[in-house]
Amino acid sequence: MIENKAMDIFLVSRWGVGILLDELNPDLECTKDTNLLVRAKTWQRGVKVANEFYAKHFKHIEVIAEDIKNGDELCNQIYHIGSDMLNDTEEVIHGPFISHGMLVGTNRYKSWYHDQDKTWRKTRK
């Protein structure tokens, strides 16, 4: 019998920073988010993969450097959006890309957010 090693696919967002746009044009007022599509075993692992990506690629940006220094999470929201039955590698599979990170108008995705108390909370079943 072949063991099923399905991985989950997550949309991971860093809210309200638009770090790529801010870096290209610091005078731009940006309300969009910096997002990644991540393949991981669990949502917690998805957060870890995203944090590592943001820390590696954006540590030169002041707000990211400050969060790293303070030991803060580098992402704010994660949605479980699907599964990948063919790959078993945890990694960023797309991104970063700039867009509104909230999946507005749908309750079909499990999601978690990092609140001001520095706690991850489940927002959808």
**pLDDT (tens digit, 9 = 90+) per residue, 39-88?**
999 999 999 999 999 999 888 878 788 888 998 888 999 999 999 999 99
Task: Note the pLDDT of residue 6.
Answer: 87
Give the Cα separation of 27 and 17 in Å (integer).
13
Q: What is the pLDDT of residue 20?
A: 57
- CA-CA-CA-CA torsion sign (44, 87, 19, 124): negative
Region 97-108 average pLDDT: 72
CA dist 18 and 62 (Å) reads 13
Global pTM exceeds 0.85: no
CA distances from 14 to 11, 72, 85, 86, 109 (A): 10, 12, 27, 28, 18
Which of residues 23 and 45 earns the better pLDDT score? 45
CA distances from 87 to 9, 35, 45, 53 (A): 11, 21, 15, 19
Q: What pLDDT does 53 receive? A: 94
Q: Could you give the CA distance from residue 36 to residue 87 in angstroms, rounded to a whole number?
A: 17
